Structure 1
Amino acid sequence: METTGLPFPSLLALVYLLQMVTPSSEQFTVSGLARPVLASLGENVDLSCQLSPPQSAQHMEVRWFRNRYTQPVHLYENGKDMQGETISQYVERTVLLTEAIGEGKVILRILNVSVDDDGQYHCLFKDGDFYEEAITEVQVTATSLEIQILMHPPNIKGLMVECKSEGWYPQPQMEWRDSRGEIILPISRNHSRDRNKLFNVKMSLLLTGSSQENVTCYLRNPVTGQEERTSIVLSDKLFPGKNIWILILFVMMAVLLFFIMVPSIELHFRQNCNLKDWKSPLIVGLGIVFPSVGVIVGVVVSLHKKERVPVSDPQFQLDTLWLEDMSVILCMLLIFITMLISFIYFRLRAALQSNHVHFPAN
């Protein structure tokens, strides 16, 4: 039996052609750092990559870039640094350490790390038409040591406390905890970013009773796990009584009744009027007192029952203080008007009676 096949020289030529068409992915590979590199704001960070198997890369192009379609972060070509061809924000901020380039290892050092440096970096080695790359991730972190707890004046809703901190990256996790370490749900969380793209955060809590001895504001960096906290001790005196408005209304009613009734009784005994005459100032006095008190109670209740800014709204504190101020001012204004009307009425009545009424002799 005969077997047919390609002659040996033709077989060798075919193998050679196959090697030329499929260049070797075996020429080299590039490895970078397996884990993300943590970089603190304002410090320097080193990113390394290595050829495998180890070999000299002095004749190769070494390119560090973030996006394939933009300028490189750092470029090494023909044995030289090509700083003029890099992205403007990295000019004078990157250094390529090439002490071990003879073994295929290079290190990119980024100086004065900023928030914009957060993200992925590609390290590419190119030899002729063949190239390989590796990706390394940089995670920029910033943790603030300054946390403030602001306490607003107590109001009819309770005690508002606010936790503020500036200069975080990325956005921190925030929570309130009580003296037992249990989480208390806040009424609002807000954040903004400054010109350096750092996070400024704020969290508010409304306490409606004096059961809490103290509360603690916790902030945690989600990347590093670093946690900062600050606490505030609460006093029972900070919480206003719930029945304070009822007490105020009773006091106002008592003052008005006293102010109206005393002149009525005094006028009766001075003039020795009959029962009908005595009832006249009393009825007028009551006619002034009860409508005035009714108006006061109605206005205050309507103010407190109307739909207002919710506690989760940033304007809640302003709305609540406005409500308290307006209630007090309105009540005082109504009392003043009532007293003024009563005073004028009884003065005029006394003046008229002194001109037309003859007092009997004793």
Structure 2
Amino acid sequence: STEKWTVTIPTVHLVAIVGGQIELSCQLFPSQSAKHMEVSWFKADHSKLVHLYRDGHEVKGEATPEYVDRTEFVREAIGEGKVTLRLHNIRISDNGTYQCSFKDGNFSNVASMNLNVAALGVETQVHIQAPRTDGLMVECNSGGWFPQPQMVCRDSKGEVIPHSSQSYSQDGAGLFHIKMTLIRYRSQGDMICYIRNPLSDEEKQINIILAGECLAGFGCE
């Protein structure tokens, strides 16, 4: 067909969870068959080939090594110009911009989509050190997050408890670890700490119960 067409993206901004899968979909407008065309997905401005379809077949062996055996080409609707690349076993490094390209002879067109990768913390630990003359030192640790999580602790009335220190670190896989410490008197009651992923808006909470038995040497009020 000599009719000029463009590539459109149904969802430009995508969020995927580490270890999960995501579908990168694109289609031709106006709708027409792409069976005879070359269809490819690249990451970051054509620097990394993710998947290639050419001459009616998927081309193996040309994709960037990090994508080998992690892609699945869905082409049931290729007769209408609709294709999807399913990316499995999502990693932090998959975060970024992807381009979907259709090429027919000398004519080609590209559309871009953004993939944001999120990871929900896998483990959270609470350490309470006592006695201290100025109260209990409560330390909350949580790892396995991406992007950098937000942590806030609240008392039974929902008021934010100010922290005395907060720090972040990143492991080799790019996942964030957060550590927060607070000073708390037993008489101030229990608290709940919330850790939130700002991208997926998912949250974990830890209930910290400070009431109960007095610790040796700690002045009970």
TM-score (normalizing by structure 1): 0.56
Aligned residues: CA RMSD: 2.0
SS at match of 1:183: coil
Q: 1:224 aligns with which of 200, 204, 215?
A: 200
- In terms of fraction of residues, the more helix-rich structure is 1
Q: Match for 1:154: what amino acid?
A: P
Q: What is residue 84 of structure 1 aligned with on the other side? A: 61
Q: 1:165 aligns with which of 142, 158, 170?
A: 142
- In terms of fraction of residues, the more strand-rich structure is 2
Q: What is residue 288 of structure 1 aligned with on the other side? A: none
Asked whether the equivalents of residues 179 and 212 of structure 1 are also in contact (C-alpha less than 8 Å), the reply is no
**Deviation of residue 158 (structure 1)?**
2.6
TM-score (normalizing by structure 2): 0.89
CA distance in 1, matches of 2:141, 2:127: 8
Q: 1:133 aligns with which of 110, 121, 125?
A: 110
Q: Match for 2:41: what amino acid?
A: W
CA distance in 1, matches of 2:163, 2:119: 24
Structure 1 stretches of 5 or more lacking a match? 1-23, 242-362
**Deviation of residue 145 (structure 1)?**
5.5
Asked whether the equivalents of residues 135 and 186 of structure 2 are also in contact (C-alpha less than 8 Å), the reply is no
Asked whether the equivalents of residues 145 and 228 of structure 1 are also in contact (C-alpha less than 8 Å), the reply is no
**Deviation of residue 37 (structure 1)?**
2.0
CA distance in 2, matches of 1:71, 1:35: 19
**Deviation of residue 95 (structure 1)?**
1.6
User: Larger C-alpha radius of gyration, 1 or 2?
Assistant: 1
Q: What is residue 190 of structure 2 aligned with on the other side? A: 214
Q: Structure 1 residue 192 and structure 2 residue 164: aligned?
A: no
Q: What does 1:43-82 align with in structure 2 at a 5 Å threshold? A: 43-82=20-59
Q: Match for 1:217: what amino acid?
A: C
Runs of 4+ with deviation above 3 angstroms: 235-241
CA distance in 2, matches of 1:101, 1:146: 43
**Deviation of residue 88 (structure 1)?**
0.7
Asked whether the equivalents of residues 136 and 186 of structure 2 are also in contact (C-alpha less than 8 Å), the reply is no
SS at match of 2:207: strand
Percent identity for Structure 1 against Structure 2? 45
Q: Match for 2:194: what amino acid?
A: Y
**Deviation of residue 69 (structure 1)?**
4.4
Q: Structure 1 residue 116 and structure 2 residue 100: aligned?
A: no
**Deviation of residue 161 (structure 1)?**
0.3
| 1:258-317 Cα distance to aligned partner (Å, 9 max, x none) | xxxxxxxxxxxxxxxxxxxxxxxxxxxxxxxxxxxxxxxxxxxxxxxxxxxxxxxxxxxx
Q: What is residue 102 of structure 1 aligned with on the other side? A: 79
* Paired residues, number: 216
| 1:123-145 Cα distance to aligned partner (Å, 9 max, x none) | 01112222211112222222136
Identify the structure with bigger relative contact order (alpha carbons < 8 Å, sequence gap 6+): 2
